[in-house]
Structure 1
């Protein structure tokens, strides 16, 4: 990972992190790096991940937010992100919305 020295938690304000998701390792690297930088953002993730045994429970415990793609409930994820920002927390999004095909 390059540029991690620029990851500094703004005091008392919400923040948005946008990350690449070009491989399955990108989220793994971020979940290992961000806490060491004092960052524990709410992570928007594909709702299908909650169907993976044990993973869904871990995602919920860590405060991840499920995004049901192609479903009208997807807006709930944006409301959860807005709530996190209003509380002064961070939000991590993957703008690509998944791995490229």
Structure 2
């Protein structure tokens, strides 16, 4: 079952350099404009082709999208679970929450 993670917990994981997979499930153009550091861009439709190339299956995996109203993070997280990722988290508040909290982002 996909678990929920909040912004402060995710930031704590990143700050402590905990080894996690971080997946940006937004449109690739949004990813290019800005994203959370260390995130990789994988759409739900790309999970089968990209997940095993870009992610470590045994690491916790956090997925985010645009905001709490966007279903992309939850759907992508569920798809990752279906193909065998066992520690999957949905950052349900997503990128909008990250930016609102003034946490670091990578901008192009």
Q: Same fold (TM over 0.5)?
A: no
Indicate the structure whose relative CO is greater, using CA pairs within 8 Å and at least 6 residues apart.
1
TM range (shorter): 0.3 to 0.5
TM-score by length of 2: 0.40
Greater gyration radius: 1
TM-score by length of 1: 0.42
